[in-house]
Amino acid sequence: MTNDALAVRYRTIDIVTPVMIAVAFGVIFLGYGAVYSLLAPATKVYPPVEGLLAGVWFLPALLAGLIVRKPGAALLSEVLAAAIEAALGGQWAIGTLISGIVQGLPMELCLLIVAYRKAGPKLAMVAGALTGFAEAIYERLAYYPMFRASDTIVYFVFMIVSGALLGGLVAWGIVRSLAAAGALNPFAVSRELRGAKSSRSTASSRNLS
């Protein structure tokens, strides 16, 4: 069996992990949706500012993709999280499922481009930014047809920045923390992080000697 075949072969844990991420974030999303309601009086003054909050919605796909690194894991986690949020009474109903699909695909694309072999902060931030761009297109058409050209540009910028930072960078921070705690030992990303830490320690020791 080739290395490429081994890279995409699913283990039970590769299915369970995206599902667990989805269940956790499905509940979190319900609460995060309430944040939007609380901030509604402020965001009504300038609706594009909502784009700054968007990155959190992208976390299931980003986390599942970074950790599992198998075809479909990111999309599964994001869509399932959206379905759970909708089932629990999320305020955007069927639109939540559409967003789940839109938000899951960019991470899948990024992992496909690197042949599922890399998972680092740069990939996470690029995937988060692309997710913000894709979701901004959908939301502009579905929720904000009243936006002027200037509003649309600002909204896209806010969504992309939030996707890169609140999405990608936060996701990578969570992955690093989980790996340090030993929770990701079955996955390649944990071994890579340990290897990078070992290499830095060796280099530091050489510099001191």
pLDDT in tens, 39-91: 888 888 999 999 999 999 999 999 999 999 999 999 999 999 999 999 988 77
Its pTM stands at: 0.89
Residue 207: per-residue pLDDT: 55
Residue listed under structure tokens 């309601």 = 37
Residue 1: per-residue pLDDT: 42
Residue 206 has pLDDT above 60, yes or no: no
Tokens at residue 7, please? Answer: 């890279």
Residue 181: helix, strand or coil by DSSP? coil
Distance CA 21, CA 184 (A): 13
Percent of the chain with pLDDT over 70: 89
Q: Domain containing 89: what range?
A: 3-208
pLDDT digits (tens, 9 = 90+) for 101-137: 999 999 999 999 999 998 899 999 999 999 999 999 9
Neighbours of 111 (CB within 10 A): 24
The count of structural domains within the chain is 1
DSSP string, 77-103: HHHHHHHHHHHTT-TTTHHHHHHHHHH
